[in-house]
Amino acid sequence: MVRRAGIDDAPGVADLVRRAFSTQSRPTNPPSGALKETAADEVERGARRRGLARMTLGVRLELGDNRRLFASCGFEETTLHRHEGFSEPTWVTMERRLQ
């Protein structure tokens, strides 16, 4: 059964994100910030999303499998970004409209 994660789920969600990224098949440059996710980070993002008509997430450009997965879930790439110290884009914002 799928359900919306609540505040009590935040530690588990943060742990899941860290575990998923710690076993990725290919390291990223710069290293993924997902490995530093905390329950507080997950709760803050969830609170900001409440009442909005869209969901957004960031995906590394070099992780094509992740980009394809989120695209198959209805997310569209919207804006390219680059990490500090990089001259070329390194990640993209993806958005899924909820309404």
Q: Which amino acid makes up residue 6?
A: G
Query: What's the mean pLDDT when you consider all of the chain?
Result: 79
Reported confidence tier of residue 80, pLDDT bands at 50, 70, 90: very high
**Whole-prediction pTM:** 0.58
Best CA proximity match to 29, nearest among 77, 71, 63, 69: 63
- Contact between 37 and 17 (Cβ < 8 Å): yes
The predicted model gives 11-29 an average pLDDT of 75
Q: Is 78 exposed, middle or buried (0-12, 13-18, 19+ CB in 10 A)?
A: exposed
pLDDT value at position 97? 77
Reported confidence tier of residue 56, pLDDT bands at 50, 70, 90: confident
